[in-house]
Structure 1
Amino acid sequence: MNVLKNIFCAALLLSSCTTVRNYQKGKPFLIKNSIELKGGNFNTDERNIARQRLYDQLDDSAKVVIIDKLFLFHKTTPAAAYDTTYSYRSARNMIGSMLHLGYYQAKSTVKIDTVSGSFFSTWSLKFEKQQRVYVKYIIDAGNPTLVDTFSYNLNKPELQQLAIEAMPKSLIKKGNPVSKGEVLGEINRMVDVYRNNGYYKFITDDLRMRGDTSILSLTTISDDPFENIRLLAEANQKRNKPTIKLEMILNPLADSMRLQKYYIGNVYLYPDYSGVDSLNSIPFLSDTTRRDSFVIRYHKKLFRNGFLVRNMDFKKGDLYRQENYAKTLSNFSKTGVWQNINIQTIERKDSVAKLDMILQMIPARKYGFEANVEASYSVNSNTNTATITNGGNLLGLSTNLSLQNRNIHKEGIKMTHAIRYGVELNLNTQRSSRVINSNELSYTNTISFPRLLGPIKLLPKSWFNNGRPLSQQTFINTNPSYTKRIDLFNLFSTGLAFGNQWSNRSNRKNTIKFPNIEYSYLFNQSDSFRTILNNNPYLRYSYNTALIIGSSYNYSSTYINPKHTNRLRSFSGNVEESGLIWGRLGIFKKELRQFVKVDGEYTFSINNPKSARVFRAFVGVGIPLENNDTASLPFFKQYFSGGANSMRGWPIRGIGPGAKPLGTINSLTNDRTGDIRFEVNAEYRHDLFQIIPNQLVLKWALFTDIGNVWNFRNTRPGGGPDSLQFQFKNFYKQLGADVGTGFRFDFTYVVLRFDLGFRVKKPEIAKNDGWQIPDISYNHLLKGGVENSQWRRDNFNFTIGLSYPF
């Protein structure tokens, strides 16, 4: 017991020990800074961000950089002798930072504490006499200065009118604290407004923000003594709640030429420009479009004129607009046909206030080729176990080849051919003499048109930003595939979809598929596979021949709160149907699956400099429309839960449906799918330390997941109670819940994630509505054996994933 105590004390000492190297002997040095922010009108997140801003104001010579080593050792950078000048300079910087947030009455206090004594050095393994300095900054924010009124006073009528029309979108609102960020943001916003209305040369220096904080009541004298008392009371209230009147004006020193409107002159397009070309020295062939008078100059006719014109958002004679300039750049970039696009604006000397626009576009390679090999490994758990009769350790190998033509018919039409071949190997030869479990061959063809085609063009133009969406695409997908499960069955599946995709705003995307056809044909079923289906009746709804003919619509968006830029919201919704038209006509009646499927996902995140809180909710419902006992969604359309991005306490497809219990280790029926899915997730993320500066950061997370999947109807043969069916009265009882923790290695471009989730509420347990605290022991976690393996399988799950789960 004494040994354990000594180890604990040593670990505590080391974990709290900060080693200082290369300090000046006999002189005090800075070891720690702390900042306390008092007062102010902040919520929790805003206060954390404000404190981080204050830390950023520390003078370089007043900072302490501590490097963590193996979680236990903490080493500071070489410490210079402490100088109070840098601390008080830092305090002044902090007051300046508070001014930018609208706190003009902020005050600072600096407390300096020197601790002298002998401190243990883990480097020299001895005690050394040191004079350590601890500095605490106390910032009393006081009351923020609020905006009393905001107005525009621009002495040019047209500029004043544009400002008044744009005022509803102003970043400065009455009653909000005035801040430097919002003032500068409002100036930049108005510059964009003017540049989008012909003022090509308008810049931020042409605008100024003027403020007036005078208190009118202090300058008013009345003969009535009671009126004077009222005015003094008002003045005192103003001091406690300071306000400011803001007014945007034109800079009197502004260049008058910058207040001139500009129009588009000639427009020149160079679609096959190269790095060795110049505009005048090398001859080009030339076309001029009849309708828009674009001048197209080229070496070879690589692109049709119509394709080029469709991506232009300005033409000769138009008023210059900055947003049309940016849209044109974006349009050509999104086609993927050019590797570089540049637009030069040249002010014409022969005409007042006209700009010639020159587009220089360097083409990308017409063909692209990719090849890669993938490998995966899993122990016999919950991945396709219904189709692996003998189970075992599984190794999957696949190779992928793709060829893309980026410019078919000189219209920027892309065609991609992709071939995939995979094989699944059984490495546990003790349980099965068969090495190959399955093999798969698939081909995918995708044709993408850089514009909207088909019936969607019959819809109102208002759906598509009056016919000019930010991005638009029409695609045709075809993907036949063949899978052979050795000694089980063969599966042929194919799909055909015609779709349109467009965005009216940069953060919103719409996708329509009409028609969407999918067909799955199951054949050559073995006797052993039929036995599995007979012994597990619910599997007959998953493994069967199915045809889908229908349509779908998907919408996704993201939103960042302009007042709280650390808060991000995203939403994705999908509506899909099959058989609503064809099913009513009675065509393909035998194999056509009829259903309506609706789901939505909402994510909300609060991101701080070194931490984040993320919340997610998913709800999906699939309603079978057939009136028979096998009515359910096709197996490739059903929902499932569990795994690295869902209910992390369960393996993928390992929970549900409803209250269905888990199978044994050798069970062949552990794949779980359903027609309804509900799930909510919450996760707290925190940065620990940088393993490799600016390249690799170790992060920690704490999470919880709640949810399950259910069948929409009773699928038990012959009827009777079915614990797999969704019922409101059992909704809470059949929810699963897990809590867990994990580590993430952030390589900047990719995140490698390790999560361990424990099940604290099991839907298959009736006692205490499934709530439980796992009885954890050393044997359960680390020792082998059937009992310990079964305990681990029943109580927790370990997952490895790439990127964040949501």
Structure 2
Amino acid sequence: MKIIPRIYIGLLVLLLFLSGCSVSKFIPEGHYLLDNVKVESDNKEIKPSQMNMYLRQTPNAKWFSLVKLPMYIYGAAGKDSTKWINRFLYRMGDAPRIYDPNLAEETRLQIEQAVRNMGYMSGQVSMYTQVKGKKIKVGYQIHSGEPYLISHVAYDIADYQIHDYLMADSARSYLKAGSRLDVNKLDQERDRITQYLQNRGYYRFNKDFITYQVDTMRNSRNVDLIMQLHPYQRKKEDPPSQHRQYYIRNVDFMFDVDFAELTSESLKGVDSLRSGGVNFFYKDKLFLRPQVISDYNYLQSGKLYRNRDVQNTYSALGRLNILKYSNIRFREELEADSAYLDAYVMLTRNKNKSLSFEIEGTNSAGDLGAAASVAYSHRNLFKGSETFTIKLRGAYEAVTGLEGYANSNYLEYGVETSLSFPEFMFPFLSSDFRRRSRATSEVTVKYNWQIRPEFERTVASAAWSYRWGKRGATHRFDVFDLNYIYMPYRSETFREYLDYMDERNPLLRYSYEDLFIVRLGYTYTYNSSGATTLKTSQRNSYSIRFNIEESGNLLYLFSRMINGSPKNGEAYQMANISFAQYVKTDFDYAKNFMIDDRNALVFHVGVGVAVPYGNSKSLPFEKLYFSGGANSVRGWSVRSLGPGGYRGDSNSLDYVNHTGDIKLDLNLEYRTHLFWKLNGAAFVDAGNVWTIRNREMQPEGLFKFNRFYKQLAVAYGLGLRFDLDFLIIRFDGGMKAINPMYTRRDRYPIISPDFKRDFAFHFAVGYPF
């Protein structure tokens, strides 16, 4: 018997054993196990899923929405809590949910109130139960009736200034004649008006000053709605007065100055200076330049108070890494008919310098090794919250499967430096533009030296980029990215191998030649929720990533202007080294469907196309697509699938051939919370890579519209995820289902699986998409 059927049989036996574990011993006499809860509605406008938040009791959780395995694990324990095995099973499992009629009635009342809040004032909810043995099913039926509609909206606002403001902004109101009398909409309108007025000087305004009066017409479901705005009262016993508009008077920034009350005595012994209409108070010395604060301050003396300016100031200061946190406090000053605010912005400094160490294990196609790195960071290099980082890295790996080489070790040394500015750095830009752009700038320089038995390779790069974002969207623009790949040494055995493969696979030689890559690119990412874990994502969400880059166009035009034609008749060169010319674009989309608070279905599609042209016959090896691995088709190890139906050979360098110019990934993953910090997943993956131009050794790898869908590789499998809140450790095991690399006889390993041939194990950090 093959290994994989044995595993299936073992899992089936375990499930049957656990499902047979009775939980009846944990159900008191006269009580029932809550088996199912169902909500039904006779109105399409009221979706049952909207009422899930009001359920006071829910059944035991199901793994993959199929089986209540955590409850059966709990049922496998005895009732003696002094035994360690029972305590262990208690923690692993989920205690049976015992039906509580009081909670069921409370649920019914809350659903009924929610229905009426939606405008169905005569709505009712009935409850029914079905008992079978020791189990009970509970159902709630919503009978909405006819909704109450708003016939007319009127305003009772004695404050003429606020009345004029609201009438000028009435087009944005949530309250419209003919709409349902929805309590949620009424509350949203209160929030909208509060935010609107707080951005026009009304510092003390809150939504409690707004109330509604509803007049019901006789024998009609149409109502007249009157919005009432009450005068200002700080306390109930205070006489009512008009709402005041506040102006910003003074803005003071306090650097590491801690005091409980904002008084002049508390500032004794503190140095101060004034710059740009702002006061600075500090001890010893100012750790940020005054101009930096001016660029990040939205609170302007003499202007009306705006809550938006406060939030923008918080957001801008949050981009300064040198600050640990910031706090803005206001003090009111009333003078005759005028009202003023003195703003105090308290800034607490973060640590300037930090040193970190990292040790990691590596596994490259079965070759084991280790790596270590040390990084130093300075968060305030020029007193403008500029972050300077330098990282040194070394790695060692024992290379196996090579013959004819003097040694079998792989060594890597690298140094990486970066300097990040918290603003848009470019000549001749105004401070106002830099403040509004909300962008960060980064300069990076890297050097990497690889020593393998076959060759030595050095990669040097320098880049300048900008990054900015807002409300879940992030933009990155790489203005300049230079990569220089230099091969100072190739062993004689390796040279002979390249000469042998030159005519059969020119890509292999091209991948080990000196090369310049001068590129620019743009990347856009968006996440509708920002959620990173199954437990924190409680609603449907989606993410998008789009990238486009080009390389070599400016160099190509410059070379043609200077030289007219290439020296060697094939490619232009810069400093006697060829440079790459290509365009590449990628698109990724992932959709997360929340089934309930423990289960989710995630769909992902990734498409990439890269076209070499002009100075390049092929893409640089670093820019080629590959398939397989922890984030692709998980039935294959990394760089072992494709292109198309190419099967490859057992040579250690054959990973170069498993690359392409076009990539397609399709993934469907069911995620479920198991217990504690452990999550599970079941997935189906499909995809492959293809070439745009025909390779002599790989005619089956060429992309063709009439056959590419027949060359899609398909895999299925299971995974475990340890959600440590700050880190997700992932283990995935994938099995090949459809293998386009094999003949028709072995093309469908899902029919006759071979564990040794078809299984791939992956260890990774983070979700695959």
Greater CA deviation, 98-107 or 416-425?
A: 98-107
Contact 1:294/1:316, CA 8 A, preserved across alignment:
no
CA 621–78 in structure 1, closer or farther in 2 if over 3 Å, else same? closer
In 1, Cα distance between equivalents of 2:625 and 2:491: 27
Return the match for 2:516 from 519, 535, 547.
547
In 2, Cα distance between equivalents of 1:699 and 1:145: 43
Task: Confirm whether residue 610 of structure 1 aligns to residue 598 of structure 2.
Answer: yes
Task: Return the letter of the residue paired with 1:485.
Answer: R
In 1, Cα distance between equivalents of 2:42 and 2:433: 46
Q: What are the equivalent positions in structure 2 for 1:322-401 lying under 5 Å apart?
A: 322-350=307-335, 352-377=338-363, 383=365, 393-401=366-374
Q: For this pair of structures, how many residues does the alignment match?
A: 702
In 2, Cα distance between equivalents of 1:424 and 1:276: 58
> 2:761 corresponds to which residue?
798
> 1:250 corresponds to which residue?
229
Task: Confirm whether residue 93 of structure 1 aligns to residue 100 of structure 2.
Answer: no
CA 345–31 in structure 1, closer or farther in 2 if over 3 Å, else same? same
Greater CA deviation, 445-454 or 466-475?
A: 466-475
> 2:495 corresponds to which residue?
530
Task: Confirm whether residue 498 of structure 1 aligns to residue 464 of structure 2.
Answer: yes
> 2:663 corresponds to which residue?
677
**For 2:301, what is the secondary structure of its paired residue?**
coil
Return the match for 1:709 from 676, 680, 689.
689
In 2, Cα distance between equivalents of 1:472 and 1:652: 36
Greater CA deviation, 743-752 or 173-182?
A: 173-182
Q: What are the equivalent positions in structure 2 for 1:582-597 lying under 5 Å apart?
A: 582-586=555-559, 588=574, 590-597=577-584
Task: Confirm whether residue 571 of structure 1 aligns to residue 544 of structure 2.
Answer: yes
Unpaired segments ≥5 residues, structure 2: 1-8, 60-67, 78-89, 235-239, 531-536, 560-572
> 1:438 corresponds to which residue?
410
Normalising by structure 2, we get a TM-score of 0.81
CA 749–151 in structure 1, closer or farther in 2 if over 3 Å, else same? farther
CA 244–518 in structure 1, closer or farther in 2 if over 3 Å, else same? farther
Q: What are the equivalent positions in structure 2 for 1:425-504 lying under 5 Å apart?
A: 425-426=398-399, 436-454=408-426, 468-469=435-436, 471-486=438-453, 488-503=454-469
Greater CA deviation, 161-170 or 650-659?
A: 161-170
- Deviations 1:208-253 (Å, cap 9, x if unpaired)? 3455665x7x46xxxxxxxxxxxxxxxxxx7xxxx77766442478
Contact 1:21/1:78, CA 8 A, preserved across alignment:
no
- Deviations 1:596-644 (Å, cap 9, x if unpaired)? 11222222222242221222222222121226xx612111122222211
Task: Confirm whether residue 287 of structure 1 aligns to residue 273 of structure 2.
Answer: yes
Q: What is the CA-CA distance between 1:301 and the residue it aligns to?
A: 2.6
Contact 1:112/1:134, CA 8 A, preserved across alignment:
yes
Contact 1:452/1:472, CA 8 A, preserved across alignment:
yes
> 1:207 corresponds to which residue?
210
Task: Return the letter of the residue paired with 1:604.
Answer: K
> 2:607 corresponds to which residue?
619
**For 1:407, what is the secondary structure of its paired residue?**
coil
CA 21–475 in structure 1, closer or farther in 2 if over 3 Å, else same? same
Normalising by structure 1, we get a TM-score of 0.78
Task: Return the letter of the residue paired with 2:303.
Answer: D
> 2:478 corresponds to which residue?
513
Q: What are the equivalent positions in structure 2 for 1:171-210 lying under 5 Å apart?
A: 180-210=183-213
Q: What is the CA-CA distance between 1:257 and the residue it aligns to?
A: 5.4
CA 179–569 in structure 1, closer or farther in 2 if over 3 Å, else same? farther
Task: Return the letter of the residue paired with 2:369.
Answer: G
> 1:316 corresponds to which residue?
301
In 2, Cα distance between equivalents of 1:266 and 1:253: 25
**For 2:703, what is the secondary structure of its paired residue?**
coil
> 2:19 corresponds to which residue?
15
Contact 2:152/2:177, CA 8 A, preserved across alignment:
yes
**For 1:327, what is the secondary structure of its paired residue?**
helix
CA 277–154 in structure 1, closer or farther in 2 if over 3 Å, else same? closer
CA 172–679 in structure 1, closer or farther in 2 if over 3 Å, else same? farther
**For 1:344, what is the secondary structure of its paired residue?**
strand
Q: CA RMSD in A?
A: 3.9
Task: Return the letter of the residue paired with 1:92.
Answer: L
Task: Confirm whether residue 270 of structure 1 aligns to residue 242 of structure 2.
Answer: no
Q: What is the CA-CA distance between 1:482 and the residue it aligns to?
A: 0.7
> 1:235 corresponds to which residue?
none
> 2:284 corresponds to which residue?
299
In 2, Cα distance between equivalents of 1:444 and 1:8: 51
Task: Return the letter of the residue paired with 2:387.
Answer: K
CA 32–454 in structure 1, closer or farther in 2 if over 3 Å, else same? same
**For 1:68, what is the secondary structure of its paired residue?**
helix
Contact 1:656/1:709, CA 8 A, preserved across alignment:
yes
In 1, Cα distance between equivalents of 2:524 and 2:323: 28
In 1, Cα distance between equivalents of 2:489 and 2:171: 67
In 1, Cα distance between equivalents of 2:14 and 2:705: 55
Q: What is the CA-CA distance between 1:494 and the residue it aligns to?
A: 0.8
Greater CA deviation, 247-256 or 339-348?
A: 247-256
Q: What is the CA-CA distance between 1:83 and the residue it aligns to?
A: 7.5
**For 1:479, what is the secondary structure of its paired residue?**
strand
In 2, Cα distance between equivalents of 1:23 and 1:740: 36
Q: What is the CA-CA distance between 1:316 and the residue it aligns to?
A: 0.7
> 2:65 corresponds to which residue?
none
Task: Return the letter of the residue paired with 2:467.
Answer: Q
Task: Return the letter of the residue paired with 2:139.
Answer: Y
CA 619–411 in structure 1, closer or farther in 2 if over 3 Å, else same? same
CA 146–774 in structure 1, closer or farther in 2 if over 3 Å, else same? farther
Unpaired segments ≥5 residues, structure 1: 59-64, 117-131, 220-237, 384-392, 782-788
> 1:51 corresponds to which residue?
52
Contact 1:577/1:597, CA 8 A, preserved across alignment:
yes
**For 2:341, what is the secondary structure of its paired residue?**
strand
Contact 2:683/2:716, CA 8 A, preserved across alignment:
yes
In 1, Cα distance between equivalents of 2:135 and 2:183: 34
Identity %: 24
In 2, Cα distance between equivalents of 1:300 and 1:332: 19
Contact 2:200/2:306, CA 8 A, preserved across alignment:
yes
> 1:785 corresponds to which residue?
none
> 1:226 corresponds to which residue?
none
- Deviations 1:408-442 (Å, cap 9, x if unpaired)? 2222212111111111124x699999875211111
> 1:35 corresponds to which residue?
37
In 1, Cα distance between equivalents of 2:491 and 2:13: 65
CA 397–511 in structure 1, closer or farther in 2 if over 3 Å, else same? same
Q: What is the CA-CA distance between 1:477 and the residue it aligns to?
A: 0.4
Contact 2:115/2:144, CA 8 A, preserved across alignment:
no
CA 776–311 in structure 1, closer or farther in 2 if over 3 Å, else same? same
Task: Return the letter of the residue paired with 1:606.
Answer: F
CA 402–105 in structure 1, closer or farther in 2 if over 3 Å, else same? same
**For 1:728, what is the secondary structure of its paired residue?**
coil
Contact 1:559/1:570, CA 8 A, preserved across alignment:
yes
Q: What is the CA-CA distance between 1:31 and the residue it aligns to?
A: 2.3
- Deviations 1:544-602 (Å, cap 9, x if unpaired)? 221112311222223359xx982222222222111111111116174111111122222
